[in-house]
Amino acid sequence: MLLSMTGFGKAVAVTKNKKITVEIKSLNSKQLDLNARVPSAYRDKELELRNMVGRPLERGKVDMTVTIENLGGETSATLNISALETYKKQIEDASAALGIPVPADWYSVLLRFPDVMHSETQVEISAEEIEALYSAVSSAVSALMDYRRTEGRKLEDFFTERIQRISALLKEVDPYEAQRVDKIRIRIEEGLKKIPGVEIDKGRLEQEMIFYIEKLDVNEEKQRLGQHLAYFIETLQSPLPGQGKKLGFISQEMGREINTLGSKSNHADMQRIVVKMKDELEQIKEQVLNVM
């Protein structure tokens, strides 16, 4: 079963006076790259939250955002005017130095910076609120994994279709391969006939032609490519997750055989088939990057 590295999950948990919203999105990456935006009230829980997200997701460029909405109607939080003034001046200085315009909407920009909100009193986080936070993060991770599984099934269908196309193209090579050998033989014999005063040793000619044709033989490449195609499908159908890197290695081997097939083909129709194979393979390689 394939899992995509692309996903999105969102969950909301509500306590008596708080609404906690957790959003997690992921894109493809060679390893886990987790960026967490957590309110200062939960800063001491950030490491635990990172572990809750990182362990099940394993790989990907992951962004997690936790937001709190006060449902009680009262809050001790106030704007930190000093911090806002400092940020505004720095932006104006940067605008003058770089020759770019200042923001049209100052509030939307300034309120994104850290420490622009100030709380007069330190509110103790209740056990109920912490439990709600963990529940929201866990649910968001589950939603993201469901998304990854759905995208994984789409990738399986995509890969299967491309592998079938390459397999069909490989079978189209056979009739042209037989024609190619005959054309090579005829071309060599006609070329020798055009040379005046040359006696041809038929036995030596046969040996040289056999040697030349063997150098252009593509049976081994066809056989190995067929094996790689079958192995790709076998890996695709594996019940174990985390097959992305393995599929990437197999696609590289497929590319080597297709390239060798193209360099040996020496036949216009065969080369056109090889170009079609390369097109299908490039699509596979592009999407393999999204597989866990």
Mean pLDDT of the chain: 87
Q: Is residue 280 part of a domain?
A: yes
pLDDT of 200 strictly over 80: no
Q: Is residue 54 part of a domain?
A: no
Q: Is residue 241 part of a domain?
A: yes
What is d(CA 145, CA 149) in angstroms, rounded to the nearest whole number?
A: 6
Each residue of 13-25: pLDDT tens digit? 998 888 999 999 9
Domain that holds residue 250: 150-288
pLDDT of 266 strictly over 80: no
What is d(CA 88, CA 91) in angstroms, rounded to the nearest whole number?
A: 5
194 with 87, same domain: the answer is: no
According to the model, what pLDDT value does residue 111 have?
82
According to the model, what pLDDT value does residue 226 have?
95
Range with the largest mean pLDDT of 1-5, 65-69, 156-160: 156-160
What is d(CA 219, CA 241) in angstroms, rounded to the nearest whole number?
A: 34
**Into how many domains does the chain fold?**
2
282 with 154, same domain: the answer is: yes
What is d(CA 72, CA 16) in angstroms, rounded to the nearest whole number?
A: 8
pLDDT of 7 strictly over 90: yes
212 pLDDT band, cuts 50/70/90, is low
196 with 85, same domain: the answer is: no
Q: Using alpha carbons, list the distances in angstroms from residue 251 to 45, 60, 159, 254.
A: 42, 21, 11, 5
Q: Is residue 8 part of a domain?
A: no
What is d(CA 120, CA 36) in angstroms, rounded to the nearest whole number?
A: 25
Q: Which residue has the tokens 């090889």?
A: 274
262 with 189, same domain: the answer is: yes
Each residue of 183-199: pLDDT tens digit? 777 777 777 677 776 66
178 pLDDT band, cuts 50/70/90, is low
pTM over 0.85: no
What is d(CA 56, CA 145) in angstroms, rounded to the nearest whole number?
A: 8
Q: Using alpha carbons, list the distances in angstroms from residue 264 to 177, 179, 206, 217.
A: 11, 14, 20, 7
| One-letter amino acid for residue 155 of the chain | L
- Work out whether the CA dihedral 96, 100, 105, 107 comes out positive or negative: negative
115 with 154, same domain: the answer is: no
Each residue of 20-55: pLDDT tens digit? 999 999 999 989 999 999 988 888 899 999 999 999
Each residue of 218-264: pLDDT tens digit? 888 999 999 999 999 999 988 887 889 999 999 999 999 999 998 88
Of 120, 141, 170, which residue is a domain's last?
Answer: 120
Structure tokens at 90: 């720095």
Average pLDDT on 100-119 reads 81
Comparison of pLDDT for 125 and 91, the residue scoring more: 91
pLDDT of 120 strictly over 60: no
According to the model, what pLDDT value does residue 238 have?
86
If you write DSSP's letter for every residue of 184-248 in order, what string do you get? HHHHHHHHHHTSTT----HHHHHHHHHHHHHHT--HHHHHHHHHHHHHHHHHHT-SSS--HHHHH
101 with 169, same domain: the answer is: no
